[in-house]
Each structure stands twice: as C-alpha cells, then as structure tokens.
Structure 1
Amino acid sequence: MLSSAVAAGLAMLLAGQPASAEALKPEYKVSTVLGAPFPWGLSAQRWADLVKERSNGRIVLKVYPGAQLVGGDQTKEFTAMRQGVIDMAVGSTINWSPQVSQLNLFALPFLMPDFRALDAITSGPAGKMVFDVIATKDVVPLAWGENGFRELSNSKRDVRTPEDLKGLKIRVVGSPLFNETFTALGANPTQMSWADAQPALSTGAVDGQENPLAVYSLAKLYTLGQKHLTLWGYVADPLIFAVSKPVWDTFSPEDQALLRAAAADAGAYGRDIARKGITVEDPSLLTQIEAAGVTVTRLSPAQQKAFQKATAAVYDKWKARIGADLVTAAEQSVAASR
C-alpha cells in the first residue's frame, strides 16, 4: 500500500504530464486514394515518417491508400474526415469539391498554364481563401501537395483539336464540372472511381482518361491501350494535407505546429516527385513514355486556344458558381506569374 507521501508525489507527477500525451491515439489513420510508388502516396508516407521522427515516436500516422477507409469511394473522404471517422487525409481538391465547391477552382479549364501559375495560386490570396473555407467545415488544412497537371490519353487516335475528342468515351472523376467540360468538347464523359477505371480501360469499356503523367506512367496505362497521349495541361490537381477538427483539437499547440511543419515539408517533397521528368529542363519521364510506343502530342499555343474557346462557356458558368472573387484572385495571381 502506498504511503501518503509517495501517493502525493505520484499524483503531482501525473498532474505534470501534458494533456496531449494522455489524449494521443496509438495510431492516426491517414486516407489517400493512391499509395506508393505514386507521388501522392509517397508524400503521405513522408508526412507519417517526419511526424514520427520529430515527435520521437509519440505520434504515429498510418497511411491507408485506395480510399479504403471510405469503401473505395474517394468522394466521401472529406465528409468522413469532417465527421471524425477519418483522422487525417492527403486529399485531392477534385475529390473534395462535392463538399467544398470552391475547390472546383483548380478544375476550371485552362486557368493555369503551367506550374508557375499553379504555385502562384496556392501560395497567394486565392490559396488562403480556399483554406479559410475548408477551416469552416470542421477540417483543418495544413499544407498543399501535388498530384499534377492532368493530361489526356486514349486508345483511338491522336487528339490535337476539340473535334478529335468527339464521340470518345472518357473516364472522369465524380465532378459535374469535369462532365460539363468534356461534354462541351464533344466527348462522352463517364464517371467512375480510380479502382474501376483501370479494368474499364483494359476491356475497352471506356476509350480514354485524364490523369497526371506520373499516374499514367506508374500505372502503365500504355499497356491498357492508352497509346495516344496529349499534353494539354487543362487542369491541375493539387493535394491538401488536412486533419479532422475534433482530432486536431486533441493535440497540444506544440504538436499542432509539428504536424503542420511536417505536412509542408512532405508537400514540397511530393511536388518535386510529381514534377520530375516532365519539364523542359528534365523530360526524362516523357522520353520513357515515348519509348513504350506512345505517341505524345504537344499542343501549340494556337491549338490550346481552340480547346480554351470550346470550354469558355463552362469556365464562365463555373466562375460564378465557385465565386467570382475567388476566381478573380486566382486569375490575378496567374497574370502576375507571367
């Protein structure tokens, strides 16, 4: 039986422990759609590794790829995190746009001509406005990551003009904006999850798809008949590192700062991977893709303008729906980046 002196000392010792230490879970579940070796999964794992290292093993994040925490339906990820079913996520702005309409900003056709323009948006006033909106929905956004600019592939023909898209059945993500964009171009957009997309391409149930080049290459979509690749950079797909607000509130300010800094570093790491081999300075990934027998079509500025003109009505409609102030702020950042 403890003496009164020892008991009192033990009580003082326990009282001195930080509340965050008592509240920590053995594991925090992090949802992603793609795992390693895709840049998306690698950046999520980098976040987990940095948090574990910098917390001396106190905070353990475990990455669950394939949207498995939401039964494979990636569009339910944000809601699940908002409700506290998922602790954290590294999510696509596209997949979260059904719940946060402002995230459709990045899916406006031909808003961002290049990485410089994308960075200007995410690091500028528009990026802050987007994070402010997310923060009102019981989700705490920490940092930007990257999936990449989404390029077009198909099994039928080279695409150089909007007319070349007519009649092609293209797999798109579950977003009305994507549906309207491809419909305006004369294609037949078909919504399906990534898990369903690869079998559909393999069987020819759909003719094509749009995804970042890292996804196209690592998933070896050229082996599924996707031999015609068009670099048109019509939309980008930034990722967001985020934490459920109920979970976030259990961390001490020091641990919150640790999670935020680690997310920023992991996001930068993922951006570097997503852009590797597809720039003018380093076209090595594109060279590998062409070596696999893929015809790579690079649109000239004049050719790209034809696509831009064909989707202008969609852009204008969605600018009003997303919020003219937000879109104008993004347009101004793009102009300043030129």
Structure 2
Amino acid sequence: MYKTILTGVVAAAMSSFALTAHAADVTLNLSNEYSANSVHGQGDQYFADLVAEKTDGSVEIVVHYGGALGYKSADHFDAVGVGALEIADTYGGALGGIDPIFLVSSLPFLTTTLDEAELLYGASEPALKEVFEENGQILLYASPWPPSGLWGKAPLNTVEALSGVKIRTYDKNGTTAFNSLGAAAVRLSWADVVPSISTGAIDAVLTSAELGAATSFWDYFDHYSEIYQYSIPVNLVHMSKTVFDGLTEEQQAAILEAAAETRDRNWAAIPQMVEQTYADLDEHGVTIVQPSGPEFQAQLQDAGKLALDEWLESAGETGQAIIDDYMSKVSQ
C-alpha cells in the first residue's frame, strides 16, 4: 500500500491546527477539479451548506472549483495526506497509480445500471477506506458520475468509426479498452481537456453527457455517442484525519451526518440529471447517437474484459474479492 510521509514542517502545521481547531469557528478548504455547475460541484456546495447548518456556522467549508487552488485530482491524495488541503473531491481513477483499487468503478462495461454501480462501490468501499486510513485520511463519501459516452464531431458507434480517433480517456482502464479497439487513446486530466481540444491534440472525449454539457462541449462537438453504459465511475470526498480529529465531537458528528446525506442526495439525483442533460443537448443541436448493434456491443465487451483482466492482475486478491462480492450481489 502507498504511504504518505509527512514532512516535519507540515506535521507541525497540522499539529498546530489540531490545537486550535476547537475554537468556535473553523474554516476548511475543499478542492475540486471540476466546475461549480458539474454534478460534483453542486454536490460539494450541498455538503458545505449542510455542514454549516449542522454546526450552526462553527465549521465553514469553502469549495474551490475548477482546480482553482492549483490541484488536479491526481494531486489531491498527497495534498490532503500532508495537510496542504483539508478536504478534496477526487475522481477515483486519477489515483490508480497510488493503488489499483481506485480504478474499480471505471472498469468498462462491468456495471450497466446505477443500482449495479452502487453495488460495485459497496463491494469496494472497505478497501478504499483502508487505503485512505493508512495514509492519514478519512473517506467521507462517494458520489457517481452519470454514465460515460463519447463526445465527438461524428458518430462513434462502430469499431471502424473509432479507428485512429484521438480519444481522451480519464484513466488506464479507458486507455486499455479503446486502444484495443483501434483508437489512439490518451489519458488526460480534466483540466487539460479543453486546451487539448482547442489545439487539435484530441478528436473526441470520453466523459458523461452531463460534464460535457457543464463545459459547453457543443462549442466543439455536435455528437454524443452512447456506448452501452461504458461505466458509472465515482468521485471520492476525503479529509485529513488530523484535521478531523482536531474538531469537537459535535463538529465531527455533523460532518459525518452531512456526508451521509450528501451521498444519498447525489446518488438519487443522477436519473433526473441525465434527463435534463439530454434536453440541453437537444436544445444546443447535439445529436445523441445510439450504439450500432450486437456486434459492436460484443467488441466493446471484449475490450472491457481486457481492461478487467489487466486490473485483476494488478489488484490481486483484494481486487478479485471485490469482483466476486459484486458479482454475487448482482446475481441475487
């Protein structure tokens, strides 16, 4: 397991926080790479508002959107671990280099519904919590993205259409799957996506319809291709344990209650959000492309199996136990 090492200076700073955090008013910073109007941006503000309400204003969470603090999702784990950030909202797959367990929610075509995605998260949550705990952090809650598809300038609903297309993927799973289908897939952090579109470095983007709409992707693309619920990945909201321990018991309880309520709200919000997003795409002239048929579906599933096999090799017994647990629950 990956282990963050605190420097003396940072450790001293965090100890200082622990001594002073019992004051009536505490301000905590929450970093998010995505925009304020994205599903997770909205969820973060909901969480911050709940914490303020439940603590009678004694804990203020200031949400910084769009990577405003200079952190991408891949930076959040270390930043929270060493105390540079108190809280972060992080796309799980961006932490795949720390531990392959973080890639589980984005395994292609493993989940086909929101209920299945929640079952997969439930199977993986204990292992995810363990990684955070070993690195001085608390996993507060996880929230899903809407299903992923492909934004592009033409339909991308056959293997032939994917051939040679420079597709932005969000983690190793996507790069493995789409390269096996003949695309030229490249992993990019969200902050790098729009600049790469503008310079022609990529031709298409793997992401949700919702996040593309929140970023006005219709300024660049006029097609959104559904690909059989490619995946329903999750973001993880995690907090420094030193900072958490420095709060009063009442403040800690309020944060955990707010986290649980935000989690439930965010999972429940996805269906209506997808419906509204599709209406927005229609209003802006974006064509929603359906998959081409059983042959394409089988080819996609083969690509997903390749990514799963690679992931299981790296995730070992822990990964296999998660998949076994998930499959047993899906079959019930």
TM-score relative to the length of structure 2 = 0.85
1:330 paired with 2:296, answer no
Structure 2 unaligned spans of 5+: 1-18
* Alpha-carbon distance change, 276 to 334 in structure 1, aligned in 2, over 3 angstroms: farther
Structure 1 unaligned spans of 5+: 1-18
- 2:229 aligns with 233
* Alpha-carbon distance change, 26 to 129 in structure 1, aligned in 2, over 3 angstroms: closer
- 1:14 aligns with none
- 1:289 aligns with 281
1:160 is paired with a residue of what secondary structure?
A: coil
- 1:8 aligns with none
* Alpha-carbon distance change, 51 to 271 in structure 1, aligned in 2, over 3 angstroms: same
Query: Which residue among 303, 308, 318 is the counterpart of 1:315?
Result: 308
1:172 paired with 2:169, answer yes
Query: Which residue among 200, 203, 213 is the counterpart of 1:204?
Result: 200
- 1:109 aligns with 108
Query: Does structure 2 conserve the Cα–Cα contact (< 8 Å) formed by 1:82 and 1:138?
Result: yes
TM-score relative to the length of structure 1 = 0.84
1:184 paired with 2:180, answer yes
Give the deviation of 1:87 after TM superposition. Answer: 0.3
* Alpha-carbon distance change, 219 to 25 in structure 1, aligned in 2, over 3 angstroms: same
Pair member with larger Rg: 1
- 1:4 aligns with none
Q: Which string of whole-angstrom CA distances, capped at 9 and with x for unpartnered residues, describes residues 289-323 of structure 1?
A: 23433222233565322211134223212112123
* Alpha-carbon distance change, 323 to 256 in structure 1, aligned in 2, over 3 angstroms: farther
2:126 is paired with a residue of what secondary structure?
A: helix
Query: Which residue among 138, 141, 144 is the counterpart of 1:143?
Result: 141
Give the deviation of 1:24 after TM superposition. Answer: 6.5
Backbone CA RMSD of aligned residues: 2.4
- 1:97 aligns with 96
* Alpha-carbon distance change, 210 to 170 in structure 1, aligned in 2, over 3 angstroms: same
- 2:49 aligns with 49
Q: Which string of whole-angstrom CA distances, capped at 9 and with x for unpartnered residues, describes residues 239-263 of structure 1?
A: 2221112212212333222111101
* Alpha-carbon distance change, 137 to 21 in structure 1, aligned in 2, over 3 angstroms: closer
Partners of 2:22 and 2:124 in 1: how far apart?
Answer: 38
Query: Does structure 2 conserve the Cα–Cα contact (< 8 Å) formed by 1:153 and 1:230?
Result: no
Partners of 1:241 and 1:228 in 2: how far apart?
Answer: 28
Q: Which string of whole-angstrom CA distances, capped at 9 and with x for unpartnered residues, describes residues 153-182 of structure 1?
A: 212x31222332110001223x33332222
Identity %: 22
Query: Which residue among 159, 162, 182 is the counterpart of 2:159?
Result: 162
Query: Does structure 2 conserve the Cα–Cα contact (< 8 Å) formed by 1:185 and 1:311?
Result: no
The total of aligned residue pairs comes to 313
